[in-house]
Structure 1
Amino acid sequence: MSVDRVEEAESVGVSEAGVTAAAAAVTYYPIAPGVRLNVRSGPGTGYSVVRVLAEGSKVPIYCQTPGTTVAGPYGTSNIWDNIASGEYVSDSYVHTGSDGYVASRCS
């Protein structure tokens, strides 16, 4: 079991408040079914958990960056998805339909 899957935690959904017109074009991707996913402050399991996504959540991917390798329902990957300012989730828990990058690299 991955360290990014949690059995009990406070669930917080993804807020869409304050989305700009440019950000509105971003695609939302579903997280793995039955998973409450840790959102971390950086691209790795060594970063602190800032919130937990509820089961059935969808996330935007603004950019992607390499980080800690994580095994999850969608394979093993070192790709981390930036879903908000200072918020990252392991791509191995996000159904993007690809084993590679689907967004630009974070700068």
Structure 2
Amino acid sequence: MAASRYTVAPGYRVNVRSGPGTQYAIVRVLPLDATVAITCQKYGEWITGPYGTTRIWDSIAPGEYVSDAYVHTGSDGFVAPRCA
């Protein structure tokens, strides 16, 4: 099954990290108006962003995570399988 694509908050260049928290290294930065495919989600550090406060992190590629607080999923919960 293909992962759904979601828009990143307008006007934000979101840091992509190697794990679910700000203590993890930045592996790249998403461009403005990016969309991401969420392959799985897991709990991590609490983050406040334009879409609220959450501890859900979205895996957008192997070893690449963004806080769900910056991704418009339309949900406060999980929209993809839990990461292993």
TM-score with structure 2 setting the length = 0.98
Q: CA deviation at 1:64?
A: 0.2
- SS at structure 1 position matched to 2:14: strand
Flag structure 1 segments of 5+ consecutive residues without an equivalent.
Answer: 1-21
Corresponding position: 1:28 with 2:1: no
Match of 1:106 in 2: 83
Which residues in structure 2 correspond to 1:62-73 (within 5 Å)?
Answer: 62-73=39-50
1-side partners of 2:38 and 2:70: how far apart? 13
Higher Rg = 1
RMSD: 0.6
Match of 1:39 in 2: 16
Could you tell me which amino acid in structure 1 is paired with residue 20 of structure 2?
P
- SS at structure 1 position matched to 2:69: helix
Name the % identity: 62
TM-score with structure 1 setting the length = 0.77
1-side partners of 2:32 and 2:76: how far apart? 22
Q: Once the two structures are superposed, what CA deviation does each residue of 1:64-85 show, in whole Å capped at 9, x if it has no partner?
A: 0000000000000000000000
Q: Once the two structures are superposed, what CA deviation does each residue of 1:16-39 show, in whole Å capped at 9, x if it has no partner?
A: xxxxxx5xx211100000000000
Corresponding position: 1:75 with 2:61: no
Q: Structure with the greater relative contact order (CA < 8 A, sep ≥ 6): 1 or 2?
A: 2
Could you tell me which amino acid in structure 2 is paired with residue 103 of structure 1?
A
Q: CA deviation at 1:88?
A: 0.1
